[in-house]
Amino acid sequence: MRDIKVMAGNVAAVEMMRVEMLTGNVAAAWAARLADVDYIPAYPITPQTEIIETLAKWIGEGVMKAKLVQLESEHSMLTAAGTASLTGARVFTATSSQGLFYGFEMLYNISGWRAPLVLVNVSRGVAAPVTLEPDHNDVLAARDSGFLQFHAETCQDVLDLILLAYRVSEDRRVRLPSIVNMDGFYLSFTREPVNLPSQETVKDFLPPYTPTLPFRASRPVVKGASVLGGHIYTYFKHNIHESMRRAVEVFDEAARRYAELTGRLHKPVEGFCLEDAEYVLVMSNSFTTMGKRAVLKLRERGVPAGLVKIVMYRPFPSTQLVELLKNRRAVAVLDQNISLGMGGIIYQEVAGALYHQRNRPEILMSVIGGLGGKYISPEEFEYIFNALQHPEGREPNTPLFLFRKDELESVKKALGLAGLGGEMG
């Protein structure tokens, strides 16, 4: 641990800026601890388990005051999380991939109940084939569930976005749950320096959660009643959609305040090297760091490359995104996911957002990469930008599937080992 103490004449000015080497998982645990959460329903799954292990350890040691309960499944875990949140408890929980899917039906209930909890999803590709490494088909499956979604690039983002998520979720103009996403392994098990705000700073930033009509003994209330006929159902779905739309502005408010307190300003969509950029790559999550490196390399060679990172995925920040992408020559959307039979999920949404923009880029290219945590090499990033500069003959709606020769060799070898032909077949 490295403490940077700014000693001054009076005690109040002693602000402790702690910078620690933290994994994304421990950063998430720290966020829950700093947010002073009351209740943590848990169920282990790789690569998320370290989060609840860390929280359990702290609670056991007495340095954190919260109730952690291990349930018998993610379905029970999410049910407990939503209902506890409705009592007025600040609730934190975490899962990944198959676990998220096992509890999936509860996601829509939790948002319908207006339970503003925060769920961390540690992305992991969805079986079959079985993997532990990340892509975003797990978290994007939850995109329509009424959860706000924030996607982290760094371990610092994990911590910051969880704190921001609590403030936006609990805001009375929004009152919807959040998912904060981090990539398994690339963030969850990766340590890097993380600034830890003080407990006082977080307390200042995050007002207490005051529930509306909470569950109380002797004062029953029905949440999420059944409504036949469709019109009441429609009315409340619209109501949630409306709250989602408001969340963009509420997020900006919260982010400005967070920046005042910590010096770190988060935006729904972030631009990188966009000045005069003609060729822009849109992407999200931890691989963005590597995308930025590729952009810098191209800039060195005089290629006007740039990058746009989507941080807030729900509500989808169409306006901000269009503002950054208009007047560009060519844009590629790198999807670390695939809607099988359609292509990249985010590509479709970016295309939809740009449709009404008069000065939309002429070329909008779909790229699929990083599925199951497949590494994206500098050469692959460069390949994308080359394709943007020379789009001739490429069918733009057919996704470019990133892959390398050595990987193809490896696949052949694996097929041989499996007895399915190839080198050893």
Among 200, 242, 323, 423, binds other proteins (CB under 8 A): 242
Q: What is the DSSP string of 343-366?
A: B-HHHHHHHHHHTT-TT--SEEEE
Answer yes or no whether residue 112 interacts with other proteins by CB under 8 A: yes
Q: Minimum CB separation from other proteins for residue 315, in Å?
A: 12
Q: Minimum CB separation from other proteins for residue 248, in Å?
A: 9
Per the structure block, which two tokens stand in for 163? 């704190």
Answer yes or no whether residue 220 interacts with other proteins by CB under 8 A: yes
Q: What is the DSSP string of 320-338?
A: HHHHHHTT-SEEEEEESS-
Among 12, 228, 341, 419, binds other proteins (CB under 8 A): 228
The stretch near other proteins (CB under 8 A) out of 214-222, 283-291, 364-372, 415-423 is 214-222
Answer yes or no whether residue 207 interacts with other proteins by CB under 8 A: no
Contact between 278 and 330 (Cβ < 8 Å): yes
Alpha carbons 3 and 1: distance in angstroms, whole number: 6
Answer yes or no whether residue 319 interacts with other proteins by CB under 8 A: no
* Residues 6 or more apart whose Cβ sits within 8 Å of residue 3: 16, 17, 18
DSSP-derived pairing of the beta strands 92-95 and 118-123: parallel
The stretch near other proteins (CB under 8 A) out of 153-161, 227-235, 257-265, 377-385 is 227-235
Q: Which is nearer to other proteins, 20 or 249 (CB)?
A: 249
Among 221, 265, 417, 424, binds other proteins (CB under 8 A): 221
Answer yes or no whether residue 114 interacts with other proteins by CB under 8 A: yes
Q: Which is nearer to other proteins, 55 or 250 (CB)?
A: 250
Answer yes or no whether residue 113 interacts with other proteins by CB under 8 A: yes
Q: Which is nearer to other proteins, 67 or 245 (CB)?
A: 245
Answer yes or no whether residue 209 interacts with other proteins by CB under 8 A: no
* Residues 6 or more apart whose Cβ sits within 8 Å of residue 241: none
Q: Which is nearer to other proteins, 77 or 176 (CB)?
A: 176
Start-to-end CA span in the chain (Å):
53
Q: Which is nearer to other proteins, 129 or 220 (CB)?
A: 220
Q: Minimum CB separation from other proteins for residue 163, in Å?
A: 21
Answer yes or no whether residue 264 interacts with other proteins by CB under 8 A: no
Alpha carbons 142 and 36: distance in angstroms, whole number: 26
Binding residues for other proteins, total number by CB under 8 A: 27
**Among candidates 62, 59, 158, which has minimal Cα distance to 118?**
158
Answer yes or no whether residue 249 interacts with other proteins by CB under 8 A: yes
Instruction: List the Cα angle 26/31/37 in 5-degree steps.
Output: 120
Alpha carbons 49 and 144: distance in angstroms, whole number: 26
Output Rg (C-alpha) for the chain, integer angstroms: 22
Q: Which is nearer to other proteins, 250 or 307 (CB)?
A: 250
The stretch near other proteins (CB under 8 A) out of 234-242, 278-286, 302-310, 407-415 is 234-242
Answer yes or no whether residue 225 interacts with other proteins by CB under 8 A: yes
Contact between 25 and 188 (Cβ < 8 Å): yes
Q: Minimum CB separation from other proteins for residue 166, in Å?
A: 17
Alpha carbons 382 and 406: distance in angstroms, whole number: 17
Cis omega before residue 315 (within 30°)?
A: yes
Binding interface with other proteins (CB under 8 A) = 112-114, 172-175, 212-213, 220-225, 228, 234-236, 238-239, 242-243, 245-246, 249-250
